[in-house]
Chains A and B, each alone.
Chain A
Amino acid sequence: MTLRDLTLAEMRDGLKAKKFSATELAKEHLDEIEKTNAHYNAFITITREHALAQAAQSDAKLAKGAGGAIEGVPIGVKDLFCTKGVLTTAASHILDGFKPQYESTITTKLWNEGGVMLGKVNLDEFAMGSGNLTSFYGHVKSPWEKDGKALVPGGSSGGSASAVAARLAPVALGTDTGGSIRQPAAFCGITGIKPTYGRCSRFGIVAFASSLDQAGPIARNVRDCAIMLNVMCGYDPKDSTSANLAVPDFEKALTGNIKGKKIGIPKEYRPDGIDPEINAMWDKGIELLKSLGAEVVDISLPHTSYALATYYVIAPAECSSNLARYDGVRYGLRVTPEGGGLTDMYEATRAAGFGAEVKRRIMIGTYVLSAGYYDAYYKKAQRVRWLIAEDFRQAFEKVDAILTPTAPSAPFGFDYKPSNPVEMYLNDVFTVPTSLAGLPGISIPGGLNKDGLPLGLQLIGKAFDEETVLGVAYALEQAIGFTAKPQKLAGAAA
């Protein structure tokens, strides 16, 4: 047991009680990150100086009995959040050397409340991917292993999930566009929540798909997620899609009492051919909810099967436009072919700067927005998106929350070679509908499969009702009592 095994809540309370200092806490994490990063590759940039300076400030405040909600707590920041003066890459070659002169709203809130930045964590390039396999800075390894071999941490917030699971940070910032917080949380046996679209400001987050992108925390339990959300959520006049709503105290929603809560079980989330262990884990979750006094209700979300196709029209369409600004003119990579003009510079810069998956999505997006194809693809996808949201709206007239598996499979290894890109996209099949509807969703560990690998359970709530999502997740988390540690950590301890 080290300081790194403590949860965020335990660190917060321990710091207040002066059981240890923010500087000790930061140093212990930084030392471990530096020692293990060659293996995990969870961090693109380690900000030791920065962290120690923040920790010293926290210690000064804590000594006076002052400080914010997470004073002195170390945090990993997904490298999609712009951090002033600190390299911000989006895990892409095209942002080479980019140090923003501004700070994202979310990270600003964290530092205002005493958070300590350990570094910038790895991700799929521009958050496009489900295995952290597309980063220009290399794959990230999960601390979970099969037959002694590391597995993927999931994606796109793979660095965040790996770091939190490997006890390199108690909590990390993630972003979720189609499942990028929930799926890696499931793969790494930890907890991650995507709040309602509009809860967290997108200002200063490198955009992938603006109508879907949403920030959220990845932590080791529901309470830590609630504490982080308390700091992160809130209206931001700098983001026109941010919701001007009061933010409740999410930690207060963790009562453990869910008696009489109605939980929907959508029949469409048992597709043919799915891993039976996923269904078994889900069924176990359903039984536990019943035992906690919740009322389980069978529901239907009839347009679920169209969600993935809809998502893979809308997200690439927005990305094709959002990524147009990476042109070599103002920042990041610039490749200028000898004797070439502006168009040559664009082509060479973008050819060298973007990886294959990003290019694929830019091309799909450009295609679906093109004259003659717009109505058949983009416009139709927008209509189906509305139908999917309507499915949820109707379901939530009958239930308080919905329980589903987070991902259709257990984490896979680096030797897994999908036969085509769509096979990889299928990882998001259970998380994408929530994203399209803009609803809050959390993934908590549901148990281990026969290989000892973690499987995730997803709870989905009504728009802006993170309290119910967190409350039910907390009760279920207590009932499941998941304590398994990743093989890599068990091995290290042995």
Chain B
Amino acid sequence: MSPALRLSTILMLGAGGLFTGGVVWYSWERVWIWRRLTLRAYAIDFRRSLLKADPALPILLLISAGGAGSFASFSGGSARMLSLAGIALLTVILVSSLILAEPINSQFRRVPEGTVPQSADHLRQRWRRFHLVRTALAVAAFALFVTAVSYASP
């Protein structure tokens, strides 16, 4: 494996692994707890969580997708196809997050802390369903990247 392909793989799997582990953790821990909170407690915790997660997870996604793009350009055959399929899934996550999740996020961000946005319970449900789908896509993308590496020539 060339040094460039090696670096691409480390970025793709390292950042992709942390991104996937992060969204799975949200599904497993935060989403479960948020369902049980009062709307006011949820609005506070969700808003604070966004402030931390919003820069970190998209950055990890972009680093992983960039690494995967570089990996695809340096490899061929099944390894390239699998990594491109993984990039496609990450793109779906990114675009759908901007279209579906971000409007929900901004409703919580716009209000002062402690204020519950209108239809907060409905927004909580929609965000939860969306995040569970996004989690499944992230796990699938990471599995594609791992499989792609197993097809890359050593």
A and B: bona fide binding partners: no
B interface residue numbers (CB < 8 A to A):
none
